[in-house]
A and B are shown apart, each in its own frame.
Chain A
Amino acid sequence: MQAYDLPDAFGHFGQFGGTFVAETLVEALDELRDMYDKFKDDPDFLKEFHHDLKHFVGRPSPIYYAERLTNQIGGARIFLKREDLNHTGAHKVNNTVGQALLAKKMGKPRVIAETGAGQHGVATATIAARLGLECVVYMGSEDIKRQSPNVYRMKLLGAKVVPVESGSKTLKDALNEALRDWVTNVSDTFYIIGTVAGPHPYPMMVRDFNSVVGKECKTQMPELAGRQPDVILACVGGGSNAMGIFYPYIDNKNVRLIGVEAAGDGVETGRHAAPLTSNSPIGVLHGNRTYLMQNDEGQIIDTHSVSAGLDYPGVGPEHAWLKDSGRAEYVAVTDDDALKAFHNLCLIEGIIPALETSHALAYAEKLAATMSKEQIVLVNLSGRGDKDINTVAGIAGLSL
């Protein structure tokens, strides 16, 4: 059997992915692709990358057996990959450490980023401070309102946070604005994209940097549980934490891979952020071809989710491919169910999960209940929920 080897040289995962950008960015992307090709297997580069992951980020992150949650559900054993324990509180930092190092190698003194929940913005600002790079973060003005602690964090770290007022004022518009910045400042600027979307080579590169998560799991699970899990679950907005944990397992066909999208008020209401589960049409946005929430004339429609990090109308092209090829499955969880899982994990395990992650936890509870006690579910606990306490309190009618 042939090993999984996507994308192709042009960044295609089957019909998905590619390089759909304005001409000004083509040379910049070619340069990035060439530099990434050069450094990705370079022993010195990898040594530096893993050194920072170990000493600056705190890797490897542990896997934790959630015994009380398992007993409460009464089905499969539930394990949590603790990406929330990373420096800056989420998996996002794995990728920013890698890309910022590449920026440094390429001699780019300025980095820019888009952010939704603020986790990628904080992770970028953090590594920019660590490496002495100028940092500008684009963030939708709606997201700035709901994630104010992260905005202040970025400022403390020396980044300039630029509010984006165009369109729906959320993650997709922040991405548009970052692309506009990059087109303008392409000679001295490195664009650190935070998810497995964007034009080639970003979906591949962001996946590769995050795949340290899945690689660690492959070693840790046999040590901890005696074998690999039956199911791996991760939330999917753009899909970087999911690709990070799925990718090393793609050729392990016995492991089910399930991505959990945001159903918002419910997929049937149209107010959601679940392009895969809702069978949205294929389209082109932010440099790649993928499943995309849009109307019948190709205008991108507003998305709805309690979690800013999942509030995105598209999904990484590799997920689109994994769905079509049947290798991964995709489901969606509503705001309400995600919130229940959020509170449950706080109370029963003493872990405050990110609202994004809570979608995966909600589905884990549901699925584990249908499985036997000998089976194992591994959830990527992609981030911690400290950033979400204002949102959660607001829903409970409290103001902090």
Chain B
Amino acid sequence: MSKIESTFLRLKSENKKALIPFITAGDPHPDMTVNMLHTLVESGADMIEVGIPFSDPMADGPVIQRASERALANDVGIKKTIQLVKEFRKQDTKTPIILMGYANPIEAIGIKDFVNQIKEADVDGVITVDYPPEESKDFVTLLREQDIDSIFLLSPTTEDNRIKLITEQATGFLYYVSLKGVTGSANIDIKQVSDRVNNIKKYSNLPIAVGFGVKDAETAKQVALISDAVVIGSRIIKEVENSNQEDLLENIRSLMTEIKSTIS
């Protein structure tokens, strides 16, 4: 059983929902990343999504684009991202880590080498934004061989026949994109999200996480009521942008604590 699966089972038995924060590796500085990951765990993260910086993040809004640009300016790419996870693992072997990124950096180092390297770093799952199931069969097979979860996005425009196709390849959990748009977009419609999540549940027993439009504790609370996990990304990156280096960890801690208290 993967760490992602067992984490969801434990939370379910405790009648709790997962909180999944997102940060981009190397933002604001690679020296900060490992401490930020530990701080996220201490303040309530049940698992963490780590963004692999990419020069052309087409599905991301301006906030996460800027995070990628800062990380790249610090020379953090896919290799350094994997190294940072390894360092995190020296102290934390329990919290599931999910890498989120785009196909090109993965293909640049080779899908096989990538899977081997992240296995060594004890990564638990991968989300590749621009790898729909039709184009990622070999990659998913390699991940499965190493017991790493393939997490797929489902969107408001995904029709039932595709939901079926995607859920057949997905493991770990399903990631429902709560709105038509890029990460960090405007308000989400909870009623609509709820209907869509219930529809997806007809096709799969996998836990469903909701993300892309969760911008405050109140939204997180509502999303937690209708799903199994809340993903919070741009809101955390904003904290990274607006904090001095010395206050950053404390600011992340208090934001996380606030959100955690509303969803537990």
A residues neighboring B (CB under 8 Å): 10, 18-24, 26-28, 166-167, 172-173, 176, 179-180, 183-187, 281-287, 292, 294-300
Q: Which of B55, B79, B130 contacts A284 (CB 8 A)?
A: B130
- Secondary structure of the A side of the interface? mixed
What is the minimal beta-carbon distance from B181 to any residue of chain A, in angstroms?
A: 4
A297→B25 CA distance, assembly (Å): 14
B58, B69, B181: the one within 8 Å of A286 (CB): B58
- Give min CB distance, A281 to chain B, whole Å: 7
A24 touches B155 (CB 8 A): yes
Which residues of B line the A interface, CB within 8 A? Answer: 53-59, 61-62, 65, 69, 72, 77-79, 102-109, 129-132, 134-135, 152-159, 162, 166, 177, 180-182, 185
Instruction: Give bound CA distance, A300 to B103, whole Å.
Output: 12
Known: A27-B158, A299-B54. 15 other contacts (CB 8 A): A19-B135, A20-B131, A23-B152, A24-B155, A26-B132, A166-B65, A184-B185, A284-B102, A286-B58, A297-B79, A298-B104, A298-B106, A298-B108, A299-B72, A300-B56
B186 to chain A, nearest CB (A): 9
Question: Chain B nearest CB: distance from A31 CB in Å?
Answer: 9
Q: Is the interface of B mostly helix, strand, loop or mixed?
A: loop
Alpha-carbon separation in the docked complex, A170 to B130 (Å): 21
Residues of B within 8 A of A172 (CB): 56
Q: Which of B55, B109, B129, B134 has the most CB of A within 10 A?
A: B55
| Sampled A-B contacts (30; CB under 8 Å) | A10-B134, A19-B134, A20-B103, A20-B131, A20-B132, A22-B59, A22-B129, A22-B153, A22-B155, A22-B177, A23-B132, A23-B166, A24-B155, A24-B156, A26-B155, A27-B157, A167-B69, A176-B58, A180-B61, A183-B180, A184-B180, A185-B180, A281-B108, A284-B103, A284-B130, A285-B104, A286-B56, A298-B106, A298-B107, A300-B104
With a CB–CB cut-off of 8 A, which chain B residues contact A292?
A: 104
Say whether B77 contacts A298, CB under 8 Å. Answer: yes
Contact B78 A298 (CB under 8 A): yes
Query: Shortest CB–CB separation between residue A168 and chain B, in angstroms?
Result: 8
CB distance from B176 to the nearest CB of A (A): 10
**Would you call B105 and A299 a contact (CB within 8 A)?**
yes
Q: Is the CB of B130 within 8 A of A183?
A: no
Q: Judge whether A180 and B58 touch: CB under 8 Å.
A: yes
The interface residues of chain A lying within 8 Å CB-to-CB of B56 are 167, 172-173, 176, 285-286, 300
In this complex, what residue of B is CB-closest to A282? Answer: B107
The 10 closest A-B pairs by CB, nearest first: A298-B108, A298-B105, A297-B77, A24-B155, A184-B181, A284-B103, A22-B59, A27-B157, A298-B104, A299-B55
